[in-house]
Amino acid sequence: MDGRLETGIEVLDRKLDGGVPPGYVIAFTADPASQSELLLYELTAIRGTLYLSTERTDDVIREAIDRSPSDVGNPTVRHVADENPLEEATRLIEALPDGANLIIDTMDVLERTDTEAYVSFLNDLKARMLETGSIAVLHCLKGSDEPPNRTRTHHAADAVFDLETAVTGTDLQNMLAIPKFRDGGQPTETIKLELTEEVAIDTSRDIA
């Protein structure tokens, strides 16, 4: 539990002194039109992963991971039904093995539930991550209609990874900021990423 766990994404692990502490809950915010899923898929390559999908079906997620151009693993994919999403997600997370990844894609469905029940879910999620020494990555879509409990997600998370995607002239730029990292030591500058075949540092505009 003392050493950090690698994410499997070299640029992040290098910037975070080897990875993130076991037990961490990470809120990963991104635009819906970005290639943010590429980062999620690449996370599955480093260790066993439970991938919970609240919107796309199991088959759609598996096909997307199989077609991903980056290195990926063989995650366990489960769809969270809409009727009682918090209860279903909790049931599935209880089966998470030690030292695993948990990905929830996306959080929007869960964040639109009753606030008291959602806060209880976040506390139980954190306790389960600590118990198993695992890492949770919560995929949070940005937009004009963000769920009312999004602030609770950011407050409960140990770290916030914020991906900004913008078109500048003829260039598409992806900038990753880490505004929150409870253990400290996060990079103070944004990281320019290339989200194509794999998640890597974009050096196309760097001057030697």
pLDDT tens-place string over residues 164-179:
988 777 778 899 999 9
pLDDT by residue (tens digit) across 49-85? 999 999 999 999 999 999 998 899 999 999 998 789 9
Q: Are 122 and 110 in contact (CB under 8 A)?
A: no
Domains and CATH numbers, the chain: 10-201 (3.40.50.300)
Edge-to-edge strands, sheet with 159-168: 76-79, 49-53, 101-105, 135-141, 25-30, 159-168, 171-181, 191-195, 199-201
Residues written for the chain: 208
State pTM to two decimals.
0.91
